[in-house]
Structure 1
């Protein structure tokens, strides 16, 4: 026994006294940073790794919809998971609540890190075709601008990091204006090098139109109306005109006819890998939004739509005296079967009389259930959105009369009469036109994750009077605190671990 102890002591002592470099060995199954960023194939895989962040739960696979759709006046939550529901009604207690805050912050930061990897290493890689390198770098810039855009909408004062970091780095706090400036820079540079269209297996990657559309939105959030018009002119009078048009409304929310002419940028979901979620090579590439937003006994039912949307859809008939057909494809609601003959996932209405649920991106049109492997692409930006944004820009530039045709183009698609015919009192009144446009956007785009940005851009959340008006549609806004709830708190763990960060105001 004593000999055994002595031998063990000698062995441990030898390990302790040996050169530390002997213990610092590379994993033979994993490439090091120096070994990886060498070939064109490495560069392409690096860019693909950024796209893989779309499929993470904190981003477009699941939780971001709770921030963008349910927190807006279009949706809400009655989830039995009380803390989750509280985070859709502005009742934040634990800033480190993972599903409500931390996971989306983490996955956003991780996506930006992957963009920075590409933008740091790919310029040093030799390419046979330098144009291909330029396009890959433009994709990374677009995606970095994309993630900072949503960081600005959610947290506002999100730390800007454009270089690779070590674990000990402490990024400094950034102002909202600085974040917007970063988005502008990334998207402007991306637009210069992205193609107008992709072909083959590359369809779905961002185009020049994708970058200019998001750039236009970025300018609009800052009320830079002239700059926004210049960006959006690409679709209206510029070289992008041949590539975009409106299609059958329902085709924007189904797995068939994806990446159609109305698509400006959409996330490519797939049900090919029916496996676990997460950041691993074989993880699922699908979305489970529909599973979380489906009616009770069909899905988890953590999120649903406000009924005022149904009421608004029914206020105005088509020129043939019919119900606005967009209602059929936008929402589940009590009279859906009576109005259009459609059931809810193959079932007659079984829920409360005043309830509504989001139908967009659901697969009820082809199956009687939903699950974690929904393959329907999310249309992040579509041409109808562009037309309504362009009308808004013209109105803000005191060109109200010129704005009508772009609204009418969207209305005509679903057989509604021209706006001036049905709402003649608007005339050229800028304020009245803006108020009507708010509803036009809700009817066309409800449940498409744009309403939170809209409310902020319109200034509806910047005065108590404005908040009170929103609360008439959505009583959750009675919890909204002026100059506080307009942004999420930074995760407390981030603030505690980084002396260069300051918690957002009033938190």
Structure 2
């Protein structure tokens, strides 16, 4: 099957410039007035909407580092300083990573809205499918924004002019969620379970994201209904792969466990000036072992390092070795341990590395291979669907069904079934999410939405840290119109 090739459209569709990585047509050849005249124009524009999902590395970093799962790591405490601030719950309105979250997702929304503005220019057979795909992606971008920042400006089906910036208010998050649900419903109603091109959004992906969105709003009965339909209908053939230990290898990507996966390619380079411009996934290189010399793994930047707390949490669960590389223990098991070496960054060291998203020697992309990993990001995999379904069923009193979905995940892991009920069953589901999904960027959000963040995260302040601060630069651009989130 073909893979969607991810590339940037002309700078007029973006809020930032990455011209150094663009193969641009001659200047002034094409603009908004002579675009959207052919089906190929719409196809190109939709690929541009997909493109900003390449910012997923931020969500892996922040979702783990803000939690009890990881520390920031890196060369020093000034190496990606914003992550160190988030690690210590010291972050404020001046934070490069948080500003990137906001501007990249709004850039994606602007691209989607540009297409929606021109939806009715022409008709062609694939148009409804394309519009359904970007309905999903716009919902995804808004879901990220509302998770991070709460109330945000809601702009749909049009681009906002520069003159409007100082007139647009933050929209209550309830209205944003309502729009997210409408966009996902459009996607669900139009899209097919399978697609000819690997990486395109499908009906199952839209259902999974809608169930997640409902869960985050505590709409448990509605979430249970969506997950039930997804699991029981399942015309895409989703399932749990039998060998979880090899699931994170590039060769085993786009399999039955991949429900919503963001594609990456190692065939195009770039540099550190614009990570979102890359086709490759920068997270594995950033997670890799600093100055590593040895077999199997590649050298990298030692970011997002798992904590001793997480390592101990696993106990004897076999998923520990799948999730966490205990580097010294691994070296000791090699036939030539004396010939293996690595360096420790001054940004922190735990001895552990993220073994799901890590650079492996046989999976390198083009130089600089810290930035060009072909390892995809699994935004929602089927194990996550089953655990979200278990949670929704448990929250609505259907303990029997909750145990069924929960124990599917545990049986694949080779650990005993859960037999609890009531409040204890819900705790067991939360615990299972950490065992199954650590290293994937979900942990902070799980702690926040279940009210457990303060007890798990050192320095977490209730009433403040459930949301991240609005970037001060954006508040200034809005003429100070937006009130900062509480506590910042």
User: TM-score under structure 1 normalisation?
Assistant: 0.81
Rg comparison, structure with higher value: 1
Contact 1:142/1:187 (<8 A) preserved: yes
Partner of 2:155: 161
| Farther off after superposition, 41-50 or 158-167 | 158-167
Contact 2:184/2:207 (<8 A) preserved: yes
RMSD across aligned C-alpha pairs, in angstroms?
2.7
The reply to whether residue 219 of structure 1 matches residue 214 of structure 2 is: yes
After superposition, the Cα gap between the structure-2 partners of 1:354 and 1:496, relative to the gap in structure 1 and judged at 3 Å, is closer
Partner of 1:20: none
Please give the alpha-carbon distance, in whole angstroms, between the structure 1 residues aligned to 2:275 and 2:43: 17
Contact 2:275/2:282 (<8 A) preserved: no
The secondary structure found in structure 2 opposite 1:448 is: coil
Please give the alpha-carbon distance, in whole angstroms, between the structure 1 residues aligned to 2:331 and 2:229: 43
Please give the alpha-carbon distance, in whole angstroms, between the structure 1 residues aligned to 2:475 and 2:448: 25
Please give the alpha-carbon distance, in whole angstroms, between the structure 1 residues aligned to 2:363 and 2:215: 39
Partner of 1:359: 355
Partner of 2:193: 196
After superposition, the Cα gap between the structure-2 partners of 1:302 and 1:338, relative to the gap in structure 1 and judged at 3 Å, is closer
After superposition, the Cα gap between the structure-2 partners of 1:329 and 1:116, relative to the gap in structure 1 and judged at 3 Å, is same
Please give the alpha-carbon distance, in whole angstroms, between the structure 1 residues aligned to 2:426 and 2:325: 28
Deviation at 1:292, TM superposition (A): 1.7
- Counterpart pick for 1:447 among 439, 447, 450: 439
- The CA deviation string for residues 151-202 of structure 1, in whole angstroms up to 9 with x for no partner, is 1111112211112111111322112222222211111111111111002xx2
- The CA deviation string for residues 353-382 of structure 1, in whole angstroms up to 9 with x for no partner, is 953211112232636996111111111111
The reply to whether residue 115 of structure 1 matches residue 112 of structure 2 is: yes
Please give the alpha-carbon distance, in whole angstroms, between the structure 2 residues aligned to 1:53 and 1:293: 21
Please give the alpha-carbon distance, in whole angstroms, between the structure 2 residues aligned to 1:342 and 1:457: 46
Please give the alpha-carbon distance, in whole angstroms, between the structure 1 residues aligned to 2:185 and 2:335: 44
- The CA deviation string for residues 311-334 of structure 1, in whole angstroms up to 9 with x for no partner, is 222245xxxxxxx1x222211115
Partner of 1:135: 129
Where do 5+ consecutive residues of structure 2 fail to align?
A: 1-25, 292-298
Contact 2:268/2:278 (<8 A) preserved: yes
- Counterpart pick for 1:146 among 126, 137, 140: 140
Deviation at 1:340, TM superposition (A): 7.6
- The CA deviation string for residues 454-500 of structure 1, in whole angstroms up to 9 with x for no partner, is 11221223xxxxx1x21xxxxxx332222111111111122122254
Please give the alpha-carbon distance, in whole angstroms, between the structure 1 residues aligned to 2:199 and 2:394: 32
| Farther off after superposition, 74-83 or 364-373 | 364-373
- Counterpart pick for 1:489 among 456, 469, 479: 469
Partner of 1:310: 311
Please give the alpha-carbon distance, in whole angstroms, between the structure 1 residues aligned to 2:324 and 2:305: 9
Please give the alpha-carbon distance, in whole angstroms, between the structure 1 residues aligned to 2:425 and 2:249: 32
| Farther off after superposition, 432-441 or 265-274 | 432-441
| Farther off after superposition, 169-178 or 132-141 | 169-178
After superposition, the Cα gap between the structure-2 partners of 1:343 and 1:407, relative to the gap in structure 1 and judged at 3 Å, is farther
User: TM-score under structure 2 normalisation?
Assistant: 0.84
Please give the alpha-carbon distance, in whole angstroms, between the structure 1 residues aligned to 2:192 and 2:154: 27
Of structures 1 and 2, the one with the larger relative CO (CA 8 A, separation 6+) is: 2
- The CA deviation string for residues 234-272 of structure 1, in whole angstroms up to 9 with x for no partner, is 22222x255211112134322112111111010110011
After superposition, the Cα gap between the structure-2 partners of 1:241 and 1:125, relative to the gap in structure 1 and judged at 3 Å, is closer
Kindly report which structure 2 residues correspond to 1:107-506, keeping only aligned pairs within 5 A, or say none.
107-127=104-124, 129=125, 132-162=126-156, 163-170=158-165, 171-199=168-196, 202-238=197-233, 240=234, 243-247=237-241, 248-276=243-271, 284-297=278-291, 298-316=299-317, 324=318, 326-334=319-327, 336-337=329-330, 347=340, 355-364=351-360, 366=362, 371-420=370-419, 427-428=420-421, 430-461=422-453, 467=454, 469-470=455-456, 477-499=457-479, 500-506=481-487
Please give the alpha-carbon distance, in whole angstroms, between the structure 2 residues aligned to 1:184 and 1:353: 42
Partner of 1:101: 98
The secondary structure found in structure 1 opposite 2:378 is: strand
After superposition, the Cα gap between the structure-2 partners of 1:336 and 1:190, relative to the gap in structure 1 and judged at 3 Å, is farther
Where do 5+ consecutive residues of structure 1 fail to align?
A: 1-26, 317-323, 421-426, 462-466, 471-476
Please give the alpha-carbon distance, in whole angstroms, between the structure 1 residues aligned to 2:428 and 2:251: 32
The secondary structure found in structure 1 opposite 2:147 is: helix
Deviation at 1:88, TM superposition (A): 2.6
Partner of 1:35: 34
After superposition, the Cα gap between the structure-2 partners of 1:312 and 1:173, relative to the gap in structure 1 and judged at 3 Å, is same
- The CA deviation string for residues 331-362 of structure 1, in whole angstroms up to 9 with x for no partner, is 11156438986999x94787699532111122
Contact 2:411/2:417 (<8 A) preserved: yes
Contact 2:136/2:184 (<8 A) preserved: yes
Please give the alpha-carbon distance, in whole angstroms, between the structure 1 residues aligned to 2:272 and 2:218: 39
Please give the alpha-carbon distance, in whole angstroms, between the structure 2 residues aligned to 1:180 and 1:66: 24
Deviation at 1:227, TM superposition (A): 0.8
Please give the alpha-carbon distance, in whole angstroms, between the structure 2 residues aligned to 1:50 and 1:277: 22
Contact 2:290/2:343 (<8 A) preserved: no
The reply to whether residue 81 of structure 1 matches residue 81 of structure 2 is: no
Please give the alpha-carbon distance, in whole angstroms, between the structure 2 residues aligned to 1:459 and 1:38: 50
After superposition, the Cα gap between the structure-2 partners of 1:504 and 1:313, relative to the gap in structure 1 and judged at 3 Å, is same
Contact 2:305/2:350 (<8 A) preserved: no
